[in-house]
Amino acid sequence: MPVSTRSRRPGSAPLAALGWMLLLAAGGASAALLDNGPEIALRRLPEPIVVDGDLGDAAWSQATEIDSWWETNPGDNLEPRVGNRAWLAYDGEYLYAAFDFSDSDPRAIRAPLGDRDNVPSYTDYGGVILDPRGDGKTAQMFLANARGIQYDAITSDASGEDSAPDFYWEAAGRITDRGWQLELRIPFSSIRYVDPNPKAWGILLYRNHPRDYRYQYFSSRLPRERNCFICNVRELTGMAGLPQAGHWVVAPYATAAQTARPESGLGSRLASESPGYELGADLKWVPNPETVIDVTLNPDFSQIESDTAQITANERFALFLPEKRPFFLESVDLLSTPIPAVYTRAFSSPRWGARATGGGERTKYTVYLGQDRGGGSSILPGPEGSAFADQDFESLVAVGRYRRDFGRAFASFLYAGREIDGGGFNRVFGPDFEWRPTERDTLSGQLLWSVSETPDRPELAAEWDGRDLAGHAADLWWNRSTGTWDYFLRYRDVDGEFRADNGFVPQVGYRRGVGEIGRTFRPREHAVRRLRLFTYGTWEEDERGRPLYREVVPGFGLDAPWNSFVRVELAWSEIRSGERLIESRQVRPTIEIRPGRRLARVLVEGNYGDQVDFANGREASGGTLGITSDLRPSDHLQLGLTLNRRWLDVDAPGGGDGRLLTAQVARLRAVYTFDARTWLRLIGQYVETERDPELYSFAVERRSGGFSGSLVFAYKLNWQTVLYLGYADNRVLDESEELQRADRQAFLKVSYAFRG
């Protein structure tokens, strides 16, 4: 649910060195917080406020009222078309916020029930965005809809918005005959501040109001020519004597699972295995507001929600999957850098882990250490594609990053290492920076080195023969936005021997340049409220200077009625496959509409035209098509349907075109939410790839795929006090192309958070 998309996170050693010299020259000349309007002075309450969605509590009369709001989208800092009022206060334990949002048609308010963080951008919600360090770069988001469904996140002008982290806080909403009201109570123990007697925090108050367009209202003006979002906060003053004593959370868990597998291969009777039981715990200790200690013992990192299947047929590189596991999510922005040298899903099966996160007014750090039992996969990168090898060994993993702010700039240093049991290691280290010399320009870069000794396991991968590898990776990018014109340049250089076993770097041995220019028009009273015309180009070559990829893409994007978005690209490309450079012409449309409460969202994405058959190194034609829809038959029931299809046609031996492959994914996700704590979810997912073996230059299966289904019941007092009860059934296509049961499982998880 991105609140702002102003920040773009994209990026030869010589260029990175130039960036470092510019950063040092910049020093700390600019203040973090800009002049964004009058400060908001809080008052301390003598007694707590009851959070129930009713603003009739007498204590609110002593709170500070904020009635200055601006429409920042689609309008350019205009007076809002609906009324917005807010109140802020605090006591010895909590920060309080209340909102009264007017609406000319309360029946149109989009506020369905759902699980935590299931508050998409096409629904009504509001809340606070806090910058407790006052650095103007990173903030915590506490937002909720009109039914009190919570959304919390870390947002950073450097790395964007991430909703994976969760915090302890309360929200209550109520729909009225003239709009809706919202109350928030946020414990100071959930806010990452430094000084118990702060001079000022930063704050933005926010309302999302989707109707015919997505209207966004803030308590600050958001100048479109500024290259930052958090820097627009207003100063929040008047707080003193905030809690200094630490608090802790201990969340032990227990899981039980009963699995049945075929006795003697697919198609045979399922036989139940002995039940499996696991015990473990997550511990969080906050000894002071700026320091957080996390420890996990035999953690349960199982995925209660299955990953959405992605089509992997005819893909050159590994596909990225997001992190969902709690241990890695404290100050998650600190693990995000221009080159993704830290990808926590590479830490596949921890036996234990320990982590410390903290810092001062101008510094931040995080460091974690853990033992990985293995069992996952390692990426084997190359210039034209990547492969996988089984991570069939244990290892010790260590990751740390330190960041220091210099006004509008920051500089960081990263280390990520993996020491392999039985021999072998990978160590990655180096600096990165970001500098905003003006309100319109951003310069960012990173320079990394890696030294590696591969494990002596040639049966798993040819590269794993104990060889030594050493290489660099460098990234530098510049972005400029004037509000109407935007420009973007990036250069990346990755050595062929660079490895990041704790990261997500599926391509090495290349140099790449990217450039883009765009012009945005914003008609005031027309159906199209925003039109952006753009052109971007990409150039990529390997270390020998051979071209790998060239592309020029003109296109446009626009916002229109039904809260819709349309983007169309026309691409002219040259792509290397083996010894050939293959030309490609494609049309790439994207259409998204978010019309109302019941038909909440429909997204159609695709490309059509010339393609490349990477498996056989030749020209092809075809395309991809993806359809995603979100239906809300009632405020309790959500139906999500995903359909993805890819097809490739090639020249057949006898002449004419032949269908090389058709790959598809169909997924239905149905969730019935009884209340804010309880839901029942059903997921069914079918994956299939059909091939014509006569059109391949090597042996392939004619048809492969499978079906997976799951049913889960959940009861959640909070995000760590949970009960999950579920059943899963997985089936795969056998040699006769019949679906056969691969396994079935019943599982139970209980976790309870003790807090002090």
β-partners of residue 704 are 689
What's the pLDDT score for residue 6? 39
What was the pLDDT predicted at 316?
42
The alpha carbon of residue 152 and the mean position of all alpha carbons in its chain are separated, in whole angstroms, by 13
| 3-state secondary structure at position 414 | strand
Cα separations in angstroms, 188 against 33, 132, 288, 333: 22, 10, 11, 20
- Distance in angstroms (rounded) separating the CA atoms of residues 220 and 189: 26
Instruction: Give the up-direction half-sphere exposure of residue 256: CA atoms within 13 A in the CB hemisphere.
Output: 6
* Contacts of residue 58, Cβ cutoff 8 Å, sequence gap at least 6: none
pLDDT number for residue 9 = 32
Q: Which pLDDT does position 619 carry in this prediction?
A: 93
CA-CA-CA-CA torsion for 65, 66, 67, 70, nearest 10 degrees? -170
**523 token code pair:** 């008609």
| Residue boundaries of the structural domains of the chain | 31-237
Mean pLDDT in residue range 152-177 = 90
Determine the average pLDDT of the residues in 695-717. 93
The predicted-structure confidence for 261-292, as pLDDT tens digits, reads as follows 999 888 889 899 999 898 999 898 988 888 88
pLDDT at residue 177 greater than cutoff 80? yes
With cut-offs at 50, 70 and 90, classify the pLDDT of residue 314: very low
Q: What is the mean pLDDT of residues 425-450?
A: 96
> What φ, ψ does residue 608 adopt, rounded to 5°?
-145, 140
Residues 6+ apart with CB under 8 A from 180: 101, 103, 106, 109, 111, 124, 146, 173, 174
pLDDT reported for residue 323: 56
pLDDT at res. 69: 97
Q: If we measure between CA atoms, which residue out of 81, 33, 43 comes closest to residue 220? A: 33
Cα angle vertex 323, ends 145, 371, to 5°? 140
Q: Which residue has the higher pLDDT, 254 or 735?
A: 254
- Residue 70's φ and ψ, nearest 5 degrees, are -135, 140
Tokens of 290: 């700026």
Rounded distance between C-alpha atoms, residue 36 and residue 131, angstroms: 14
Q: Is 164 left (phi over 0), alpha (psi -120 to 50) or beta?
A: alpha
Q: How many other β-carbons are positioned within 10 Å of the β-carbon of residue 216?
A: 21
Return the exposure string of 550-573: e unless at least 16 CB atoms fall within 10 Å of the residue's CB, then b.
bbebebebbbbeebbbbbebebeb
Confidence check: pLDDT of 616 > 50: yes
Average pLDDT over every residue of 228-243: 94
Q: pTM value?
A: 0.89
Angle at 471 between CA 469 and CA 473, to 5 degrees: 145
- The first and second tokens of residue 607, run together, are 């490309």
pLDDT band at 34 (very low <50, low <70, confident <90, very high): low
Residue 12 pLDDT exceeds 70: no
Tell me the C-alpha distance between 577 and 212, whole Å. Answer: 46
pLDDT at 324: 59
Average pLDDT, the chain: 89
Angle at 716 between CA 125 and CA 296, to 5 degrees: 105
Between 50 and 5, the higher pLDDT residue: 50
In which element (H, E) is residue 539 found? strand 530-542
The amino acid that residue 349 corresponds to is: S
Using DSSP, state whether 284 is helix, strand or coil. strand
Tens of pLDDT, residue by residue over 389-421, are 888 899 999 999 999 999 889 999 999 999 999
SS (H, E, C) 486-515: EEEEEEEEECCCCCCCCCCCCECCEEEEEE
Measure the CA–CA gap between 22 and 29, rounded to whole angstroms.
13
Residue 651 predicted with pLDDT over 60: yes
Residue with tokens 């109570």: 185
Please, is 684 exposed, middle or buried when counting C-beta atoms within 10 Å of its C-beta (0-12, 13-18, 19+)?
Answer: middle
**Distance, CA of 360 to CA of 358 (rounded, Å):** 7
- Say which range, 150-164, 327-341, 533-547, has the weakest mean pLDDT: 327-341
Question: Which residues on neighbouring strands pair with residue 354, listed in sequence order?
Answer: 295, 369
Instruction: Tell whether the model's pLDDT for residue 17 goes beyond 50.
Output: no
Mean pLDDT of 184-201: 93
Give me the percent of the chain exceeding a pLDDT of 70: 91
202-206, 389-393, 620-624, 642-646: least confident range? 389-393
Give yes or no for a contact between 201 and 193, defined as CB atoms under 8 angstroms apart: yes
Predicted confidence at residue 341, as pLDDT, reads 93
- β-bridge pairing 739-751 and 722-733: antiparallel
**Does 555 score more than 60 pLDDT?**
yes
Q: What is the pLDDT of residue 592?
A: 97
Q: What is the DSSP string of 507-538?
A: B-SEEEEEEEEEEEE--SSSS--EEEEEEEEE
Torsion of CA 25, 27, 32, 38, to 10 degrees: -90
CB 445 within 8 A of CB 13: no
737: helix, strand or coil: coil
| 325: confidence class by pLDDT, cuts 50, 70, 90 | low
> How high is the pLDDT of residue 159?
83
Q: Rounded to the nearest 5 degrees, what angle is found at the Cα of 494, between the Cα atoms of 620 and 451?
A: 130
Q: What's the rounded Cα separation, in Å, for the pair 153 and 144?
A: 12
Contact 226, 440 (CB under 8 A): yes
Residue spans of beta strands (DSSP E) within 121-163: 125-131, 138-145, 150-156, 160-162
Which residues make Cβ contacts (< 8 Å) with residue 129, sequence separation at least 6?
3, 139, 140, 141, 142, 155, 203, 204, 205, 206, 230, 233
Cβ atoms of 66 and 128 closer than 8 Å: no
Instruction: Determine the pLDDT at residue 708.
Output: 92
Assess whether pLDDT exceeds 80 at residue 310.
no
Q: Are 688 and 703 spatial neighbours (Cβ–Cβ below 8 Å)?
A: yes
Per-residue pLDDT tens over the stretch 52-107: 999 988 899 999 999 999 999 999 999 999 999 999 999 999 999 999 999 999 99
CATH of domain 31-237: 2.60.40.1190
* pLDDT mean over 357-369: 90
Task: Note the pLDDT of residue 36.
Answer: 76
Q: What is the secondary structure of 443-478 as a DSSP string? A: EEEEEEEEEEE--B-TTT-TTTBT-EEEEEEEEEEE
Length of the chain: 756
CA distance 323 to 340: 13
What's the rounded Cα separation, in Å, for the pair 58 and 473?
Answer: 59
361 and 134 in contact (C-beta within 8 Å)? yes
- Residue 457: φ, ψ to 5°: -135, 65
Question: For the residues of 659-691, what is the DSSP string, one character each?
Answer: EEEEEEEEEEEEEEEEETTEEEEEEEEEEEEEE
Its sign, for the CA torsion 451, 456, 459, 460, is negative
Contact 471, 493 (CB under 8 A): no
Which tokens sit at 704? 């492969």
Alpha-carbon torsion (78, 79, 80, 85), positive or negative: positive
Among the listed residues 650, 647, 492, 644, the one whose alpha carbon sits nearest the alpha carbon of residue 582? 650
Residue 684: CA atoms inside 13 Å, Cβ hemisphere, count? 4
Is the CB of residue 373 less than 8 Å from the CB of residue 396? no
Quick: pLDDT tens for 668-690: 999 999 998 999 999 999 999 99
Judge contact between 87 and 64, C-beta under 8 A.
yes
pLDDT of residue 223: 93
Find the mean pLDDT for residues 521-525.
Answer: 89
